[in-house]
Structure 1
Amino acid sequence: MFWLTAAALAGVAQAQMQMGSLSMLRFGCAQTVIDRIDPLVDPGKIPSPHVHQVVGGDAFNATMASTDISKLAKCTSCTFSEDFSNYWTAAIYYKASNGSYKRIPQMPNQQIGDSNGGLTVYYTAMGKGSSTAFKPGFRMFSGDAARRVPSGFGKNMQSCYRCFPGVNFQGNTMSPCMDPKIDSEGFPKTPCPGGIRSSVIFPLCWDGKNLDSPNHIDHVAHPESGPASFAVTTAKCPASHPVKIPQVHLEIVWDTRNFASIKEDWSADGSKQPLVLSSGDETGYGQHGDYVFGWEGDTLQRAMDNSCFGPTCPKGNLKTQTFAAANKCTVKSAVHEEYDAWVDHLPGLDNMGNMPM
């Protein structure tokens, strides 16, 4: 299954769905806000150290209580209108040869629809009774913002970048993180004329008790056999974290089409490239994702138990909305900074990539 094309993977998923063995939601969430706050890692801090791009419910704030978020939000930027969760990642900037920076905007993912940027969310489980949906107040983190070297997970890496060689998602034929030619755990070493797709995969196992942990990681874990690849959810969980949870996977497509022609910022041997995460990471290995659960009632459990596939869930009786509605769900930035123009340093960092004293 690892090396199937995207079309073949969809065919397998549909066949398994018909047999009642797989649930895989895949849906888009438009951009809610670009801001320098982080209620998970730096709660209450305005501003937080680096810029994030955020999607989901409008309850997103610098401080989010460990409670039922669905009761606090009034709208969501996701097409499943009962998903008031929040999902966010670091932004990616382009660093020009003159030392200035420009935030690379997001664009709609393949087969998603007319979203205002944002990202694509996957929830995968092996059908009824195979996983336990998250509880109100649940939150988690995937990745390591301080990492500057490969994780050592090989094809089971939990984050990667896909460098599209041409427009319209050219070359998108293999499962996420599985293409040896255009996928990499660190930033691509060549220009990407069709855009760059980031993937962030979250752990699959939960301790069954704690809705969070001090580092937002320890209450969840990978299976006994190690990190699980995209849509592979059958591995056994360790005794310390015995409860299987849905696999959450985020995809963000960064619109590098207007930057790929600037050849002088790339070197032929790959030793120089102009991409940098908003955290100051020029390697890309520090890519990470944050998640605060906010599905209404038992909607996510119904989706995982009823072999739902793609952007709708008729068996689970889940409600959806158009992007015309989802795009309207936004929140105001808490930090008033320039996030779209060329700037002389990354917001929150000095010209050397360090937090000012």
Structure 2
Amino acid sequence: MMKPNKSVALAWMITVAGCGGSDGSGGESEQPVLALKPATPTFSVKPDAIIYEPYTHIEFSADLAASYECQLDTDDKSGDITDCSSPMLLLPLAADSHRFKVWAVADNGARSNSAELSWQVASTFGADGSVHADLVRTSVMPSKADPASWRGIFRINCDFAHSSYHDPIVFPGQANAAHLHRFYGNTLVDETTDIDSLFTEGESSCQGNTLNRSAYWVPALLAPEYNPVTGEPLYDEQGELRWRVVPAVVGNDEQAHEIFYYSAGVDDLDAIQSIPVGMKIIAGNAKAGPGSEQDTAVVRWHCQSWGSSDAGNPRWSSTIPECVAPDRLRMDVFFPSCWNGTDLDSADHQSHLAYPQRGSGTQGMICPATHPVPIIRVSFHYAFGVTPDVYEPQSKSSRGWRLASDMYDVTQDSPGGISLHADWMNAWHPEVLQTVLDGCIREGLDCHDGNLANGFRLTGTRPGSQTEPPIINMGMGY
């Protein structure tokens, strides 16, 4: 047997079986196995020394590598080293300095030296002199919130982005599997949307544009169509009622009709945490119907003329009331704001969260022990104009309106809207959402129009494609 050259042996560890059989009988020998140490990885895609978004793409490779191990932002080689592969998308990244290491691992377990990268994520608010393009300076300081109502709150406007029969939370990867939804926020949301694409791609129809690529969607609100001359209902070729979408009053910055709120659900404002990127939440029950009306503390309807308020006039309806023109129909959906501290989603898209409850004595509203982490409370607040193009001609009201998710016959005795629910996926820029928490909610302020209470506000709204597909099966879909 030939001995390897010493210089080669420094790079190779060689395991050689005996030349004969294990019993010395001269049987067939095993073939030599070379245990090679892989090369140190090299980077083909890496971040600049300073980047201005809270994510980055990295690609790497190494000769003789069977797998890779990576470590982000720690010098402790015994911890936070995980299996990884190239390419990688790192998100979310805080506005801070970051360090990334990668090792190549051979089939035999031999490990390369580490390759390292270092870079800085710049602050959105211009710590290096460069303010993000989706921020505007303002001298307006928000006033204190009414402690009997919102404690602390941040409000934004969003324009309508588009409509479709997709639902990336309930039916991921399945086209046209849901009832008709109306989407706000990230303009590219479809059935293929996941947190990576949501956080890094597209623009937003909401104030702040790319600082808030979150996705917001609700079932479409529908009204029967009527002959404008006779007032008689119109029917399609199959003899079914024809329907049209009732649009929400959104996207008008000058009117300042905020439709998405971020507020405090518990009384201990200092205990509230920001919402992790990628969290998915559904509020309300899409399967609710007559006999299973929902709690109006979670989802509710009311006419604007009622002057409803939690503090002074808690007049709410679990079904769509008959609001008469020129009134507006209002809709509120409150998302749970107590987290189990671990999961960003759950099988039913709800169990990882819970609603606050009233504590004993002077505790006020607190989180239950099963979901002990209070996070920012998300809520949707829409207004729908009762106008001639959508109202019922005889009563000039919202009579007969329904949600695309209402799986029951809507009549005067069983009004629509019982299945009210909403979906949300978080893709806020983490530094901006933390600013909302620190400056508006924890300080007990009422921050309107995207005002961040730090000398900046978010830029205005913008429309998406505003695609409107045909209404199929009363909006219930294919």
Report the TM-score, using the length of structure 2 for normalisation.
Answer: 0.56
Question: Which piece of structure 1 moves more, 213-222 or 254-263?
Answer: 254-263
Structure number with the higher strand fraction is 2
Distance 2:348 2:423 in 1: 12
**1:150 to partner: Cα distance:** 6.7
Larger radius of gyration: 2
Q: What value does the CA root-mean-square deviation take over the aligned residues?
A: 3.4
Distance 2:173 2:469 in 1: 18
Say which of 95, 108, 124 aligns to 2:263.
124
Distance 2:311 2:384 in 1: 15
1:300-339 equivalences in 2 (<5 Å)? 300-307=433-440, 309-316=447-454, 319-323=457-461, 326-327=462-463, 330-331=464-465, 333=467, 337-338=469-470
1:310–1:264 CA distance, 2 compared to 1 (3 A): closer
1:101-116 equivalences in 2 (<5 Å)? 101-108=243-250, 112-113=253-254
Question: Which piece of structure 1 moves more, 55-64 or 210-219?
Answer: 55-64
1:101–1:17 CA distance, 2 compared to 1 (3 A): closer
Distance 2:341 2:290 in 1: 32
**1:322 to partner: Cα distance:** 2.2
Correspondence 1:100 to 2:247: no
Counting aligned pairs with the same residue, the percent is: 20
**1:302 to partner: Cα distance:** 1.4
1:241–1:195 CA distance, 2 compared to 1 (3 A): same
Q: Which residue of 1 aligns with 2:391?
A: 260
Correspondence 1:292 to 2:425: yes
> Alpha-carbon deviations, 1:91-125, whole Å to 9, x = none?
1111254522121122238x85369xx97100013
Q: Number of matched residues? A: 303
Report the TM-score, using the length of structure 1 for normalisation.
Answer: 0.74
Greater length-normalized contact order (CA 8 Å, ≥ 6 residues apart): 1
**1:294 to partner: Cα distance:** 0.8
Distance 1:129 1:187 in 2: 37
**1:76 to partner: Cα distance:** 1.2
> Alpha-carbon deviations, 1:240-289, whole Å to 9, x = none?
100001111101222221233612697xxxxx941111123433111000
**Aligned partner of 1:79: which letter?**
Q
**1:179 to partner: Cα distance:** 4.0
Distance 1:235 1:194 in 2: 34
SS at match of 2:424: strand
> Alpha-carbon deviations, 1:270-323, whole Å to 9, x = none?
xx9411111234331110000000101321111111125122334446551123
SS at match of 1:70: helix
Q: Which residue of 1 aligns with 2:66?
A: none
Say which of 298, 301, 306 aligns to 1:158.
298
Q: Which residue of 2 aligns with 1:85?
A: 214
1:242–1:68 CA distance, 2 compared to 1 (3 A): farther
1:48–1:114 CA distance, 2 compared to 1 (3 A): farther
Say which of 140, 143, 160 aligns to 1:14.
143
Whether the aligned pair in 2 keeps the contact of 1:56 and 1:85 (CA below 8 Å) is yes
Whether the aligned pair in 1 keeps the contact of 2:223 and 2:391 (CA below 8 Å) is no
SS at match of 1:89: strand
Distance 2:162 2:181 in 1: 8
1:141-290 equivalences in 2 (<5 Å)? 141-149=282-290, 157-164=297-304, 170-172=305-307, 174-175=309-310, 178-180=313-315, 183-189=316-322, 191-225=324-358, 235-258=365-388, 259-260=390-391, 262-263=393-394, 273-281=399-407, 282=410, 283-290=416-423
SS at match of 1:129: helix
Distance 2:429 2:380 in 1: 20
SS at match of 1:123: strand
Distance 2:312 2:301 in 1: 7
Distance 1:292 1:113 in 2: 27
**1:332 to partner: Cα distance:** 7.2
Distance 1:102 1:177 in 2: 35
Distance 2:250 2:188 in 1: 23
**Aligned partner of 2:380: which letter?**
L
> Alpha-carbon deviations, 1:123-154, whole Å to 9, x = none?
01368633111112111000001111476776
Q: Which residue of 1 aligns with 2:169?
A: 40
**Aligned partner of 2:379: which letter?**
H
Whether the aligned pair in 2 keeps the contact of 1:160 and 1:185 (CA below 8 Å) is yes
Whether the aligned pair in 2 keeps the contact of 1:56 and 1:83 (CA below 8 Å) is yes
SS at match of 1:306: helix
Distance 2:279 2:417 in 1: 27
**Aligned partner of 1:138: which letter?**
M
1:174–1:315 CA distance, 2 compared to 1 (3 A): closer
1:316–1:127 CA distance, 2 compared to 1 (3 A): farther
SS at match of 1:311: coil
Whether the aligned pair in 2 keeps the contact of 1:107 and 1:253 (CA below 8 Å) is yes
